[in-house]
Amino acid sequence: MKRTRSENASRISKRQLNDDDSENSYKATHVKETTVVKSINKPTSPLRSLTSSVQSLTTDTSKKPQQQQQPQPDIFQRGKALFRRTVVPSRLIGREAERTTMMDFWTQHVLLNKPGGLYISGAPGTGKTAMLNDVKRQMETTSTANKTKDKKHTTKMAMINCMSVNEPKAIYTKIVTELKPTNSRQSPFPGDADIIVQAEHLLLNSNKNTLYVVVLDEIDHLVTRDKGVLYKLFEWTSLPSSRLVLIGIANAMNMTDLVLPRLRAKNCEPQLLNFNPYKAADISAIIKDRLYSLLDDDRHCQNTETKPTTPLPLIQPIAVELCAKKVAARKGDLRQAFDLCQQAIELAHKEYKRSNTNCNNVLRDSKTNTKVSGSRSQLSATDPPKVTIRHISAVSQSLTGNSGKDKLSKLTTQQQIVMGTLWKLKQKKTRTTMSDVCSEYTSTIKANGTIPPVTTTELYTIISNIQDIGLLSIKGSKEQTKQQVLLNMEDSDLKNMIDEVPLLKNIFQ
């Protein structure tokens, strides 16, 4: 079959193209094979291979903690934690005169090995115990730093809350248990003798090498039961063989009138130190000092000169001033100011979370259904304050105005009877336990005969419900019957409630 000239030319061109493709393919394959061979033949260091493997593993594992890193607490949570009553601040501000008196007493007696007594009085929430603990910590640090060979005595300390004992004589047991020598061979101790004899042997001896420091908090609870124990302890501090430094802290303002005349007559009067209620300026300075600790840069917290120029975090300064003035106008109880700040922060936190949730729902992209990148869920300490005057005013209703009277009027009949019972007990004694409330309530209701009394379990529930409202507080022993019940109401408000309710007036008058 004959082909035309054009067909032959076409076949020749196609053959040439195929030959070119084959040659190019061969070259590419040859290059790859050559590269593989070189890489195989190239000597590889085992150390280099091991290093590369470790680096790859390190790179992979280093990424995981970043993904699992826990978020930091937001500014609201940190702020509320600052004002908890159990928080021990890193430093205390204010009360410079009281601090100086305590430090002078500690230096003259504890550091110089000289017995003595200090009687601290003041209303609750005025910083008595907190200041003593701060001075003790500071003086112990100073004494350790300046310790020399000239110091020839050791110090043993016992801090006892008098509310933890059932009877005044148990104070001797507490003191002996905490301070008695552990090695009886080196220091013979009459362990089988009467507890008072053991305490005398420990605290009254001629051994000048050991000084015992006893701190009795809530010491007024000893006076209401047996003044003899308190008298004896303060008398021991003035005896020639005494090895005792006694520091008593009392909340009752009439303690000096009850105890000091007899001690003064025996020439064993302790040194006196009174804590007046906090003023508005003091409360404001303490709150601001704690708020400044929220800042990331600690230099703003420690340098007092920069504080006036540094914006106050979380709470507006004018709101802090309002809180301080409201608390100072009542009793100057710093704990109430902390409670107000904590409640105001909680209220602002709820509003912020609600508004932030609404904004995030509105600012969602309709196509990708994701949040807009400009929205934030957390605040920092440098953001504008979120707690305002409105929040402080809202939570301070429990301290001002007729809120106490309004709360009493909203109580049930049994709750009002319990409050009347507490008012009646307060006229008889300064310390009231749950057992006292149950006994007084039952005897009062049965003597009147108007309504039947509730059971003990129901009475505990009623007291707990009143505590939730904020009209009373329960503190003290783990055993329920020995817990102390404290009224958070003015006597005048309770008296008005009894006069205005006919049933209560019939029961208690």
What are the tens digits of pLDDT across the range 186-195? Answer: 456 676 788 9
Whether 347 and 417 have beta carbons less than 8 Å apart is answered as no
Which tokens sit at 341? 């700040």
DSSP 8-state code for residue 452: P
Span 148-171, average pLDDT: 81
What DSSP line would sit under 295-317, residue for residue? SS-THHHH-GGGTTTSPPPSB-H
Span 301-323, average pLDDT: 77
Strand partners, 321: none
Residue 459 has pLDDT above 50, yes or no: yes
- Helix (H), strand (E) at residue 179: helix 170-179
Closest CA to 101 of 147, 132, 144: 132
- The fold for domain 403-508 equals Arc Repressor Mutant, subunit A (1.10.10)
Span 33-49, average pLDDT: 45
User: HEC string of 82-134?
Assistant: HCCCCCCCCCCCCCHHHHHHHHHHHHHHHHCCCCEEEEEEECCCCCHHHHHHH
Domain ranges of the chain: 113-275, 281-398, 403-508
The pLDDT confidence band at residue 35, using thresholds 50, 70 and 90, is very low
**Identity (one letter) of the amino acid at 427?**
Q
Which tokens sit at 412? 């049930």
Per-residue model confidence (pLDDT) at position 116 = 95
From CA 38, how far away is CA 256, in angstroms rounded?
A: 99
Residue 463 has pLDDT above 60, yes or no: yes
From CA 414, how far away is CA 411, in angstroms rounded?
A: 8
DSSP alpha helix (H) spans, 280-412: 280-292, 299-302, 317-330, 334-362, 389-395, 403-409
Four-point Cα dihedral 430, 431, 437, 438, nearest 10: -140
Rg of the chain on CA atoms, in Å:
38
Q: Identify the burial level of 345 via C-beta atoms within 10 angstroms of its C-beta, where 0-12 means exposed, 13-18 middle and 19 or more buried.
A: buried
Per-residue model confidence (pLDDT) at position 286 = 95
Per-residue model confidence (pLDDT) at position 182 = 75
The pLDDT confidence band at residue 314, using thresholds 50, 70 and 90, is very high
From CA 138, how far away is CA 399, in angstroms rounded?
A: 35
Span 260-287, average pLDDT: 91
Residue 246 has pLDDT above 90, yes or no: yes
From CA 335, how far away is CA 83, in angstroms rounded?
A: 9
Four-point Cα dihedral 330, 334, 336, 341, nearest 10: 120
Closest CA to 429 of 476, 387, 484, 350: 484
Per-residue model confidence (pLDDT) at position 173 = 92
* Fold match, 113-275 / 403-508: no
- Helix (H), strand (E) at residue 210: strand 210-217
CATH 3.40.50.880 assigned to 113-275: no
Of all residues in the chain, the percent with pLDDT exceeding 90 is 33
Span 454-458, average pLDDT: 88
**Identity (one letter) of the amino acid at 213?**
V
Per-residue model confidence (pLDDT) at position 266 = 84
Average pLDDT, the chain: 78
Residue 60 has pLDDT above 80, yes or no: no
Span 429-442, average pLDDT: 89
Residue 215 has pLDDT above 50, yes or no: yes
What is the number of other CB atoms lying within 10 angstroms of the CB of residue 16?
10
Number of helical (H) and strand (E) elements in the chain, helices listed first: 21, 7
Q: Identify the burial level of 266 via C-beta atoms within 10 angstroms of its C-beta, where 0-12 means exposed, 13-18 middle and 19 or more buried.
A: exposed
Span 313-342, average pLDDT: 92
- Helix (H), strand (E) at residue 248: strand 244-250
Span 75-83, average pLDDT: 90
Which residue has tokens 């005169």? 97
**Identity (one letter) of the amino acid at 261?**
P
Residue 256 has pLDDT above 50, yes or no: yes
Helix, strand, coil percent content, the chain, rounded in steps of 5: 60, 10, 30
Residue 253's alpha-carbon distances to 127, 222, 259, 488, in angstroms, are: 15, 14, 12, 17
Per-residue model confidence (pLDDT) at position 265 = 84
Closest CA to 418 of 460, 481, 446, 373: 460
3-state secondary structure of 204: strand
Four-point Cα dihedral 32, 37, 39, 43, nearest 10: -170
User: HEC string of 457-472?
Assistant: HHHHHHHHHHHHHCCE
Per-residue model confidence (pLDDT) at position 191 = 66
Residue 39 has pLDDT above 70, yes or no: no
What is the number of other CB atoms lying within 10 angstroms of the CB of residue 390?
13
Per-residue model confidence (pLDDT) at position 417 = 93
Whether 286 and 93 have beta carbons less than 8 Å apart is answered as yes
Span 35-49, average pLDDT: 44
**Identity (one letter) of the amino acid at 392?**
I
What is the number of other CB atoms lying within 10 angstroms of the CB of residue 240?
7
Strand partners, 473: 486
Residue 20 has pLDDT above 60, yes or no: no
What are the tens digits of pLDDT across the range 100-133? Answer: 999 999 999 999 999 999 999 998 889 999 999 9
Residue 507 has pLDDT above 80, yes or no: yes
Residue 300 has pLDDT above 90, yes or no: no
Per-residue model confidence (pLDDT) at position 61 = 45
The pLDDT confidence band at residue 472, using thresholds 50, 70 and 90, is confident
Of all residues in the chain, the percent with pLDDT exceeding 70 is 72
Residue 402 has pLDDT above 70, yes or no: no
